[in-house]
Structure 1
Amino acid sequence: MDKDAGKKRAAEEAAKHIERGMTLGLGTGSTAAHFVDLVGKRVSEGWDLRGVPTSEATRAHAERLGVEIIEPDETTIIDLAVDGADEADPSLNLIKGGGAALLREKIIAHAAKKFIVIADKSKRVAALGAFPLPVEISPFSWALTVAAMRRVLTEQGFDGAPLELRARDGAPVKTDGGNLIIDCKLGRIENPAALEKALAAIPGVLESGLFCGMADMVIYGDEDGVSIATP
């Protein structure tokens, strides 16, 4: 399967939901980048659109295309957010965070009136967990947070699950907010909503990459077309 073709088709289908005058939540990653390209194309055609990016990379990409970037205030209405996912199950629960932007992604997805996920069809799974679950944590005394995560994961049935501090070139990966990412190799998550809630209760955990009950639609693309899943 040509995954990039699938990503493009999914982004094109999501772009059909854009209307003039919208404020858009712009996701992070290779699939979301195709959607940003389409937003830029509409702006170049004279559409009045504004964007709220979920990462500095997306901000830079959108600005290069001439998309107006705004800093939300309490009155801002995000009409539509579009983002990718690392996995999506039949109930549209997601694992996100492979691009280390999960906290900002969840803030924008939660605020949006409509949240559409776009992905190539390989991201469609029967159960979450084959993709390591990212958890964004504060760098302050981070090892204590990891110890608490191990206790909670044991309580949730993941005793001994490998937890790894995400690193690149020998240094910890830092999010745009200066936080750390712990990747949890859980194998299979039977109750993602319960796990999301349990991890969120740990001091030091800022967000997990579990997005449960948030997606209004998941669009899967392949070289032949798209399929659409709704709750």
Structure 2
Amino acid sequence: MKQTGGGEDAKRRAGESAAEIPDDGDVVGLGTGSTAAHAIRALGERVDAGLDVRGIPTSFQSRELAREVGIPLTDLDESLPDVAIDGADEVAADGALVKGGGAAHAREKLVDSAAERFVVVADPTKEAERLSHPVPVELLPDARAPVAEAVRSAGGEPELRAAERKDGPVVTDNGNLVLDCAFGEIDDPDALARTLSTVPGVVEHGLFVGLVDEVHVGSDDGVEITSY
């Protein structure tokens, strides 16, 4: 059952908590989404106060925000992240995640998995005992039909993500499409992740399994930190 107590204050507390982690000289993976944005803003305040870090953005959105708040940027060709700070659409009790609500999960997984320490920021509405949120699957445009059929064979129901305020589908920063795939409650996220990864045409899926080191959940009372 999802928890209550979400909202911008809870997101802000989680983001600010994680933004206290980086030290001078660190490279920081900068996640995508509303809660990660709070972390980026808080990190920008620390940079303004003298912290020496560089950021690796995971999307156009996080790149623009980092520039706005004055965080110097680098990329994976130059450096690997010491810590990555990112949000999630759902966080299971065992630390498994569903990500991809912002259609940036391919680059998010690349940056987050490369980090020495991966920290998730969330509010209580994102917590669940088991994952059940639809899993975003980024795919090559020509692969829509065969990938959708493979998802159905794996027990899911795929739906092409439609763009808002324009006709047609969402197109990722990589030029691909996204299927949101409902599997109901996911008993074995690791097995489903392996299945989806083997489907030709799939660029990346939104199941993040065995990657998280810490989860910072903001609430009205403060921040709860869970380590894995």
Name the residue aligned to 1:102.
Answer: 105
CA distance in 2, matches of 1:93, 1:105: 15
**Cα offsets for 1:149-186 (capped at 9, x unmatched):** 222x1xxxx2xx42100012331101101111100112
The letter for the 1-side match of 2:129 is: A
Show structure 1 runs of 5+ residues with no match.
none
Question: Are 2:124 and 1:121 aligned?
Answer: yes
The letter for the 2-side match of 1:35 is: A
The letter for the 2-side match of 1:208 is: H
Question: Are 2:98 and 1:90 aligned?
Answer: no
Name the residue aligned to 1:143.
Answer: 145
Aligned length: 222
CA distance in 2, matches of 1:230, 1:14: 13
1:1-231 → structure 2 map (5 Å cutoff): 1-73=5-77, 76-129=79-132, 131-151=133-153, 153=154, 158=155, 161-168=156-163, 169-231=166-228
Show structure 2 runs of 5+ residues with no match.
none
CA distance in 2, matches of 1:205, 1:17: 34
Q: TM-score, normalised by structure 1?
A: 0.93
Cα pair 2:6 2:124 within 8 Å, conserved: no
* Alignment RMSD: 1.2
SS at match of 1:164: strand
Please state how far the C-alpha of 1:2 moved relative to its aligned partner. 4.8
CA distance in 1, matches of 2:175, 2:197: 19
CA distance in 2, matches of 1:185, 1:149: 9
Q: Percent identity?
A: 44
1:2–1:190 distance in 2 versus 1, CA, 3 Å: closer
Q: TM-score, normalised by structure 2?
A: 0.94
CA distance in 2, matches of 1:3, 1:28: 17
Give runs of ≥4 in structure 1 deviating > 3 Å. none
Cα pair 2:151 2:181 within 8 Å, conserved: no
Please state how far the C-alpha of 1:46 moved relative to its aligned partner. 1.9
